[in-house]
Structure 1
Amino acid sequence: MPTLLHIDSSAVADGSVSREVTAAFRAAWQAEHPEGTVVYHDLAVERIPHLDVHGISAGYVPAEDRSPEQAAAFALREQLMSELEQADAVVIGSPMYNFTIPSTLKAWLDQVILMGRTAGETPSAKGTPVTVVAARGGSYAPGAPREPYEFVTTYLEKVLGGGLGLEVDFIVPEFTLAPVVPALAEFAPQAAESKAQALELAARKAKALAV
């Protein structure tokens, strides 16, 4: 059965555009794969621990030689890496916080990146399609005043594509704060249009994976 790995990292439960768009992707994917499995992580609720010395060192020690602390730390890494390796498609919701990704998503990435397995010359999940919903409160598009501060897509392209060998695609809803921040109110029409396009694109991309 096909498997979708779905990850949300927005700290906002209600009103999150990244969550709404990943949900649209998931719904369209499930419509095409009614027999499929969805593995879901809400990183705002299910706090994945930061990679510590035990988790780091365990990746380079044979299983039989690991300390109890290393074994416990690597068990989580094994679970998360296996989920990525077994997925037929991945969708990730990543809002922009202070010009980059949420720390909760960085914690997940640190746990799943292991040189010689998921990363390196022959990444174990190489070629898996991943769609990233990179929502942001304003605009960081080419030509925008804050374009140089865009460290979400630029970072994830390198990590997911260059590091893990995944086939990365982005959906970028902009001006998500326009409805709630008075200083951005004039951009409300652009926000509505960008969100509508993102929802349509998410459904289209999910359906295309079934071909």
Structure 2
Amino acid sequence: MSYLLHIDSSSRGADSVSRQVARSFRDSWRGPVVHRDLEAAPVPHLSAAVITAHRTDKAERTAEQAAIAAVQEELIEEFLGASAYLFTVPMYNYSMPSVFKAWLDQIMVVGVTMALPDSPPAAGRPALVISARGGGYGPGTPNHGMDHVVPALETVLGHRLTLGLDVNILTPELTLAPVVPYMSEFIPLHEASLADSHEQARKLADAFQAAL
């Protein structure tokens, strides 16, 4: 086993429910961890420099191309060197934090991490996505169908034509119930969802390690 790669993208620091559930996973993990906090140190968004750098011989790259290519190569090496993954990706305005999308755009490269038409090099490696959200988005809720985080990440992280990871999802819900008065009736549901997410995170840490 090499290491667990933990990518954080919450902007709320210690108050982040996604980070708190991730801590339960980490507390059960026995082994090395590489932690990248995208809130503390965001990676560059895609630019013309990084896109054109791939088509330019290294000796002919501009200083800007060389600098951004070095960042991307570091991120890709870090991704490919992991044997398991932990992603904390809360829902912000029905989608993922822009810092996480920027990280994805940097590490998703056809022929490197997306080895089409062959299987991607990280195919089958276990991954856990923890995505806290302020409301409820399951079947029968008013917000059903408005979750644009989990479906997107299941495709981007888990599809055989993308990164091919074995993706698990935890969604601690109704995190606004304790702080928004009109949602106070949902506090018991939030507490149950949070407790279950902590328990499942610990179990998944053990399962990942057993599989590895």
What secondary structure sits across from 2:169 in the alignment?
strand
1:135-174 Cα offsets, whole Å, 9 max, x none, are 1100011221111111010000111112111111101110
1:81-100 Cα offsets, whole Å, 9 max, x none, are 11110101100011100101
Aligned twin of 1:74: 69
Q: CA deviation at 1:128?
A: 1.6
Task: Quickly say closer, same or farther: Cα 1:65–1:124, change in 2 above 3 A.
Answer: farther
What count of residue pairs does the alignment treat as equivalent? 206
Give the distance between the partners of 1:198 and 1:161, measured in 2 at CA.
21
What secondary structure sits across from 1:91 in the alignment?
strand
Give the distance between the partners of 1:91 and 1:99, measured in 2 at CA.
21
1:93-151 Cα offsets, whole Å, 9 max, x none, are 11100101001111111111111111133322222211000111000112211111110
Identity %: 45
Gaps of 5+ in 2: none
- TM value normalised by structure 1: 0.93
Q: Does the 8 A contact of 1:24 with 1:202 survive in 2?
A: yes
Q: Does 1:142 align with 2:139?
A: yes
Q: CA deviation at 1:57?
A: 1.6
Q: Does 1:13 align with 2:8?
A: no
Of 91-100 and 142-151, more deviation after overlay is shown by 142-151
Q: CA deviation at 1:66?
A: 2.5
Which segments of structure 1 move beyond 3 Å, counting only runs of 4 or more? Answer: none
Q: CA deviation at 1:190?
A: 0.6
Counterpart of 1:99, as a letter, is: Y
Q: CA deviation at 1:68?
A: 2.1
Q: CA deviation at 1:16?
A: 1.1
Q: Does 1:110 align with 2:126?
A: no
Instruction: Report 1:190-201 matches (<5 A).
Output: 190-201=189-200
Q: CA deviation at 1:60?
A: 3.2
Q: Does 1:127 align with 2:124?
A: yes
Aligned twin of 2:81: 86
Give the distance between the partners of 1:127 and 1:60, measured in 2 at CA.
30
Aligned twin of 2:180: 181
Give the distance between the partners of 1:127 and 1:143, measured in 2 at CA.
32
Give the distance between the partners of 2:183 and 2:176, measured in 1 at CA.
7
Alpha-carbon RMSD? 1.3
